Structure 1
């Protein structure tokens, strides 16, 4: 393979979420000079370019079903001296969009990948949610099936991080119900139509605030606050009640302590063991 010419690269370019004024002058400059522009939806990409008064570009689709097949073609284009741009339908590429395998292939081959940062829905939602912005974990689009969704939330249940993810409007209510069942009463923010005319932020607490999917329009970014850093301490009377209950069932002290600790919060195994021993005397 010949050496890639200077200034020839794969440019990963962030585009507006909705408001065309959010695009950077650098992004416009790169789009103007690029010979090839890769997008998940070439029709949306065409409308974006039209709004920016950019014409004469070769548009190639890049989606989850053809990304692997596109890699060799894009590598060849850049190696021959062409500038190629990867854009998202809206916002920052790779954030729940295809492109990861393409970028990784370029890195493995030692070919240049240049990011042009800009609008990003998860970060934009965090900026206005009032929920702790860091640490945060971005989950992309969450699973459709309730069992898979419950398993996903279970994996993150005890991780002290804000969760940010995308969900379809017709599944928001059921998604929040599963989240409440697994994660408990956390703060949430629904950010919809970000940077667009009907931008809206809906706030509440899981289990206490009802949200009707029928009232939601547009694309939804959901922010769930982190778990309480200091869980409430179970009342001592309840701890003693559990000790008596498990003792009556014939559990030995070591097993009993583990069972009681699993059913309470804020108590160490030593504290529970001391109560067990005290009760034996």
Structure 2
């Protein structure tokens, strides 16, 4: 089974390999058969098409496995971009791999990678979070759990929730820089940068900027200053370890693993505590 990335906007982003395979497979499993049929007509190919979405995915496993067992090739596609990335397909791929079926990735467009590549945020580490919860309470809880991450944060969002999500980002992240990517690879592709509050103002000033599908990227948290991490709780942990007979070096190593920071900084702190300073 081929896991085939399809365009997220511009049809020219479909790879020649993907176009060829979509014409060669016996079956295409598609998130929305109507959407995929338009792509197949554009390519001038006509394989059989089967729906596969979040509501029927588990029930499609046996059907697709029988086609593979019969020696047929199958392509899995989503409406746009790479399947399984905030799209259906995980259950199918997991089950087929467990049955020793051959799963072949056919890479191509992916909105989060495209957005990060042009956002100007750090990409050595990033944390993809898909779509945030629809309601503000759970959404803010999720964001608060991420606020200390030093990796760039990436979210998908829909146009009808973009204002509310930016408002929650403003409450949780304050003045942290954001980049908002909209309508990637399409005619009105836009990148907006600023704080959440300034981006809200941009969208309110130009309602057209609130249309389309969004990738929200948040700059990671700055590295913690170790001196700020030396709290009463950290001193209590070091003191407790020392009181139990743990050596200064070992205590410093344990705290470094738990709280981060340089081992030598914690060693000096532990030594002062042991000496009674």
Distance 1:44 1:231, change over 3 A: farther
Report whether the alignment pairs 1:152 with 2:152: no
By how many angstroms is 1:153 displaced? 1.1
**C-alpha separation in 2, matches of 1:232 and 1:183:** 21
Correspondence for 2:219: 225
Q: CA deviation at 1:221?
A: 1.1
| Partner SS state of residue 221, structure 1 | strand
- The runs of 4+ residues in structure 1 deviating greater than 3 Å are 230-234
Query: Counterpart in 2 of 1:7?
Result: none
Aligned residue for 2:123? Answer: 133
Specify every segment of 5 or more residues in structure 1 that has no aligned partner in the other structure, as ranges: 1-9, 244-252, 255-265
* Distance of 2:223 and 2:163 partners within structure 1: 26
Q: How many residues are matched?
A: 238
CA distance in 2, matches of 1:50, 1:151: 44
Counterpart CA distance in 1 for 2:67 and 2:23 is 17
More helix by share: 2
Which SS does the other structure have where 1:202 is aligned? strand
Please, which runs of 5 or more residues in structure 2 have no aligned partner?
Answer: 237-260
Normalised by the length of structure 1, the TM-score is: 0.77
CA distance in 2, matches of 1:168, 1:209: 15
Deviation at 1:210, TM superposition (A): 2.8
Root-mean-square deviation (Å): 2.7
1:76 corresponds to:
66
Tell me the secondary structure at the aligned position of residue 93 of structure 1.
coil
In the alignment, which residue of structure 2 is the partner of 1:112? Answer: 102
SS in 2 for 1:169: coil
SS of 1:68's equivalent in the other structure is: helix
SS of the residue corresponding to residue 101 of structure 1 reads helix
| Cα separation, 2, equivalents of 1:93 and 1:62 | 11
Task: Normalising by structure 2, report the TM-score.
Answer: 0.78
User: Pick from 26, 29, 33: which aligns with 1:35?
Assistant: 26
CA distance in 2, matches of 1:68, 1:230: 44
